Amino acid sequence: MILHYRGGLCRAGVVVAAALLIMTGSARADAEPGVYDDRIVFGQSAAFDGPAASLGLGVRAGILAAFDEANQAGGVHGRMFELISYDDGYEPERAILNTRRLIDEDSVFALVGEVGTPTSKAAQPVAEEAGIPFIGPFTGAGFLRDSALSTVVNLRASYDQETEALVEHLVGDLGLSRIAVLFQDDTFGRAGQDGVVAALERRDLEPVADATYVRNTVAVKRAVLALRRADPEAVVIIGAYKPAAEFIRVATGIGMKPAFATVSFVGGNALAAELGPGDATVIVSQVVPLYDDPKSPLAEAFRHAMHAGSVGTEARLDWADAGFVGLEGYAIGRLIVDALEQIGPEPTRQMFLRQLLDGNTFDIGGLEMTFGPQDNQGSDAVFLTAIGPDGTFRYVEDEPSR
């Protein structure tokens, strides 16, 4: 699947899920790849089908909302924003092929919004070797926070920070000690599991049990039975929304009543939709505020951009469906727009990376991001949320103790 947005063509915008003709418009002979007289082109590889599709579509919708917002205001220094997105199905091999295609054939200025740890681990070295900015990957994996990486810019808090916040709430606030872990059997799952284990160790605890499932499946019944034997008071789930929801359904269906907790990659809104109404306690760490928080300037700007946008319907999610994932994508897009605005009319990849990483601070609707030469992660913020019986979210301080 190819999703291509080119801003500024018409009021309705253009989104095409098909092979496209080469766009018109010429670049100057001395211009950077992806930089044209009338536009600047970004590329994305993400999951747009399969069990993680909601994540790729949500991140893309948020980025497009920010790009379209800028395009409707005339672009940046006279250039409109474009985004070419290829589906990798949350599979590393496809992510590599997509990344090479975006670099070698599409000549994009930068890569943005890669979704997932295993896909990022596969695609990022390709980008690093080519010197292509790798902006806003939707993962909190530690390897992307290595200060030796010269092209990676992370917006979000790490999985270590998210799991620390979850364990602190489970142990410190709720008084639980028997905590189990379900994790996806790959680099993402193990990164999250490592974070939970480390957070428990800091409290002189260890998991009472752990279990795994295979990526891009919902085969979790064996894991449910394995964890039930340990009688946990809480289960921390490191996985995508479909297997996480299936685990919670099966576990509660056989009488398990632990608190369930999971990190932001799950896609909170998609998880709530999969679960439907219920009385299970489900806590989700987020790296952006509540997407419908009227007190958050970022959330309000996102809602307005999604409602006012002219991107079209084929890849556009409803504002509420895009939710937290879309809000993070919007923040990524806003960060890109702000950095390019500050650079001036003749951007290069190196100028772009320097503007982001050389000790600058960006205030994106109240979400402050500060980078430095040894710090490629902009935000350390973690927001704990709880899914209510009706599927809506609230900040966790409103969740009663068990």
- Model confidence pLDDT, tens digit, residues 190-237: 999 999 999 999 999 999 999 999 999 999 999 999 999 999 999 999
Residue 279 confidence (pLDDT): 82
Question: Token pair of 13, please?
Answer: 């915008």
Residue 102 token pair:
């975006």
| pLDDT at position 373 | 84
Please name each of the domains of the chain with its CATH number. 2-156+292-370 (3.40.50.2300), 159-286+383-398 (3.40.50.2300)
Instruction: Tally the residues of the chain.
Output: 402
CA distance 164 to 319: 29
Residues 300-317: pLDDT tens digits? 999 999 987 654 434 456
DSSP 95: H
User: So what's the pLDDT on residue 13?
Assistant: 32
pLDDT of residue 67: 96
Helix (H, G, I), strand (E, B) or coil at 400: coil
Strand order, beta sheet including 15-17: 15-17, 2-6, 80-87, 39-46, 110-112, 134-135, 152-153
- Between CA 321 and CA 339 the distance in angstroms is 28
The Cα-based distances of 392 to 105, 276, 283, 385 in angstroms read: 43, 10, 12, 10
What is the C-alpha separation between 125 and 120, in angstroms, rounded?
9
Q: Tell me what the mean pLDDT of segment 76-88 comes to.
A: 97
How many whole angstroms separate alpha carbon 344 and alpha carbon 356?
A: 14
227-259 confidence digits (pLDDT tens): 999 999 999 999 999 999 999 999 999 999 999
Residue-level pLDDT at 6: 65
Segment 54-61 mean pLDDT: 95
Residue 312 has a pLDDT of 43
The rounded percent of the chain whose pLDDT value lies above 70 is 89
Report whether pLDDT(400) > 60: no
Over 70: is that where the pLDDT of 5 sits?
no
* pLDDT given at position 321: 81
- Look at residues 26, 47, 48 and name the one whose alpha carbon lies nearest to residue 38: 26
- Which band of pLDDT confidence, cut at 50, 70 and 90, is reported for residue 320? confident
Most confident residue range from 28-42, 231-245, 311-325: 231-245
Mean pLDDT of the 317-346 span? 92
pLDDT at 8 over 90: no
The whole-number pLDDT of residue 51 equals: 84
Q: pLDDT tens for residues 270-311?
A: 999 999 888 888 999 999 999 999 999 999 999 999 987 654
Residue 322 or residue 214, greater confidence:
214
Q: pLDDT at position 221, please? A: 96
Q: For residue 317, what pLDDT is reported?
A: 62
**Mean pLDDT within 350-369:** 94
In contact, 289 and 298? CB cutoff 8 Å = yes
Give the confidence band of 322 by pLDDT, cuts at 50, 70, 90.
Answer: confident
Q: Is the dihedral of CA 388, 297, 136, 95 positive or negative?
A: positive
Point out the least confidently predicted range of 103-107, 164-168, 305-309, 381-385: 305-309
Q: Rounded mean pLDDT of 325-339?
A: 97
What rounded mean pLDDT belongs to the chain? 90
- Residue 149's CB is within 10 A of a number of other CB atoms, namely 17
Q: What is the pLDDT of residue 316?
A: 54
* The pLDDT of residue 3: 72
Lowest mean pLDDT among 1-10, 258-267, 386-395: 1-10
* pLDDT at site 18: 31
More confident site: 313 or 181: 181
Helices (H), 281-399: 297-308, 319-343, 349-357
State pTM to two decimals: 0.91
- From residue 387, alpha-carbon distances to 104, 105, 275, 291 in Å are 43, 43, 10, 13
Contact present, 373 and 387 (Cβ < 8 Å)? no
Determine the pLDDT at residue 309: 64
> For residues 257 and 280, what is the distance between their CA atoms, to the nearest angstrom?
7
How much is the pLDDT for 53?
A: 92
Contact 137, 114 (CB under 8 A): yes
Predicted confidence band of residue 10 (pLDDT cuts 50, 70, 90): very low
Q: What is the pLDDT of residues 136-177, one digit of tens each?
A: 999 999 999 998 999 999 999 999 999 999 999 999 999 999
